[in-house]
Every structure is written in C-alpha cells, then in structure tokens.
Amino acid sequence: MKKFHIKRSEIKYQLIWIPIVVYFIGIIFFNVNINSKTIDIVLNKEANVSIGEITKDTVIEQSFVSPSDNVDSIDVQFATYGRKNDSTLYVKLYDVANDLLLFTWHFSASDIEDNSYLYLKIPNGILITKNDEYRLTFDSDDAVVGNAVTIWASNSDRYKLGKLTINGSNFLGDLVITFHILKRQSKMLIILYSLFSFSVVLFFAKFTVYYMSKRVNIESHKDEVNNDGIQ
C-alpha cells in the first residue's frame, strides 16, 4: 500500500499561521484585560445614617473632585427601609464649573435592593477630568413617603473636597460613594509585551516544525528501509 509523506517545506507552510494567530489572540486578550482592571477610590465608607426618603419634594446633592481622568463608574450605597418600592429615581451628573448636565441615569426603585450599591457607569464620550469638580444629584418625580428609597451617609464630614446638601441645606456628612478607576498600562509596556509574546510563540512554532520534520524524516527512512527489504 502506497504511503504519502509530507515534505518539510509543506509542514512549514501549514504551521506558519500558528504564531500569527496566537499572537493576535494574545494581544486582544491582553488589551481587554488591561481595560477590565480597575482600582477603587473610596470617597466615604462610613454608613452611619440615612439621608431620609428621596421623595418628589427632595433633592440630594453631593459634590466631589474627580480623583482621575479614567473614572469608569461610581457606586452609591442605597437603602430601601426593608421594603419594596416602585417609584422612579433619577441620578444626574453635573460639571460644576460650567453648570452643565453631563448625564442622567433612570432607575426603578423596585430594582434597588436594601443596603446595596447602585452602579453608575460613566458612558463613553462623557469626559471626567482629574481635579475638576462635579456633582451628583438624586431626585424623583413620583416618590412619596412610604414609597421611596434613601442613601447611606456618614454623620460627620469625612470628605473634605465636597459637600452634601438636602434641598439646598448643608448636611454634616457625606454619601457612601466609591469610584472605580480604569488602570491603564503605558504604551511602552504594551509594545514590550507584544514583542515578547510574538518571540515566544514564534520559538515554539519553529520548535514544532523542527520536531515534526524530524518525525517525518524518521518515518520516511523506515519506509525506505522496509521497501528495500521487501525488494
């Protein structure tokens, strides 16, 4: 029975795509992994008191100075008084210096769990600049007493760079807020990683080609010996 053998040059052509594919998969994974890493900066973590029910007659405002240019999201700790509420909550982000509304989040109070953190994702295109002042505003257009949520706060001024107000009056405390900051790597690190990863996969690809070529040569030699013996 005739056997077909793969030439060494054919093996090279068949395997040359391995380092290229692995390289690009690695680069995609690495970049996604960079963008997914965040560090937390806590504005205030002391939840001593609630600021009261956020009804349609209540406006809660917390100002802050951005700790980074790469704010990905903000968490605010809410409470529901241990009940299910079905009112609407609006959260607005303002640029204080320009008195500019940047974005508004809409939430159903029924989706907020007691003592949970409300996740405020900063949308793409919204520029948050380090050391600039911003303000979060919380209000509702339909919440009433007995059907409204509240926010946890400290009972003392824990955050010196901003202030908390309720209907324009200062509140001696700050909301429980955490910033999530994207941790970005330098371009030089990405370039070095790219070169290193490509070198590694290229080395293993060449080793694989060499190993398979040797195996093919050995099998070919055995077949030649066997054929000579048969003759």
**Integer Cα distance of 85 and 144 in angstroms:** 10
Q: Is the Cβ–Cβ distance between 55 and 159 less than 8 Å?
A: no
Tokens for 180, please give them.
Answer: 């999530």
Share of the chain above pLDDT 70, in %: 64
68 — pLDDT class (breaks 50, 70, 90) = very high
pLDDT attached to residue 134: 97
Tokens for 183, please give them.
Answer: 């941790």
CB atoms within 10 A of CB 4: 4
Look at residue 63 and give its three-state secondary structure.
strand
pLDDT digits (tens, 9 = 90+) for 169-196: 999 999 999 999 987 655 555 566 666 6
pLDDT digits (tens, 9 = 90+) for 82-106: 999 999 999 999 999 999 999 999 9
- Report the predicted TM-score, pTM, of the whole model to 2 decimal places: 0.68
pLDDT attached to residue 87: 96
Tell me what percent of the chain is helix, strand and coil, each rounded to the nearest 5: 30, 30, 35
pLDDT attached to residue 17: 57
